[in-house]
Amino acid sequence: MRRAFAGLATLQLLAVVAQFFLAASGAFDTAPNDESFQPHRALGGGIVLITVLVTVVAATARMPGRLIGMSGLVAGLAVLQFVIAAIATALDGTAGGLVFGLHAVNGLAIVAVTGRIIRQARQLARPATSTPTPQAA
């Protein structure tokens, strides 16, 4: 179950990296904003579902509490992305642009926490190494 958790956390990171790609491609697309950022928004909803699944699997696999908490933190940060986008869209001019900057910073925080989760999950998924005991002569 710990390997499944590590695999899901890796899938989560891959989805977040793809999200950055979709954001960049939407920013440079010639289509209207609503149309060019649609894949970015759709994957954002998928990432929220993946983060909740990762948190549930962490709890089910009886991972350490800190790892479960970090998984929940990523889920909260993913939901916060939608809140930031809604607030930034509601604001006009410079204020909206500054708030949208927080959207990118929050995305970087998601990458950082997910990377830490993966490192710790891989350490826990490794089989314990036993040291050979010397034979009595």
How does residue 16 score in pLDDT terms, banded at 50, 70 and 90?
very high
Whether the predicted pLDDT of 127 surpasses 90: no
- SS3 labels along 18-55: HHHHHHHHHHCCCCCHHHHCHHHHHHHHHHHHHHHHHH
Cβ neighbours around 105 below 10 Å, total: 10
Whether the predicted pLDDT of 123 surpasses 80: yes
User: What's the chain's average pLDDT?
Assistant: 89
* Residue 8 near residue 51 (C-beta atoms within 8 A): no
Query: Alpha helix locations (H) across the chain?
Result: 2-27, 33-36, 38-60, 65-90, 93-125
Pick from 6-10, 27-31, 53-57, 78-82: least confident: 27-31
Tokens of 113: 């926490």
pLDDT tens digit string along 18-70? 999 999 888 887 777 778 888 888 999 999 999 999 999 999 999 999 999 99
How does residue 130 score in pLDDT terms, banded at 50, 70 and 90?
low
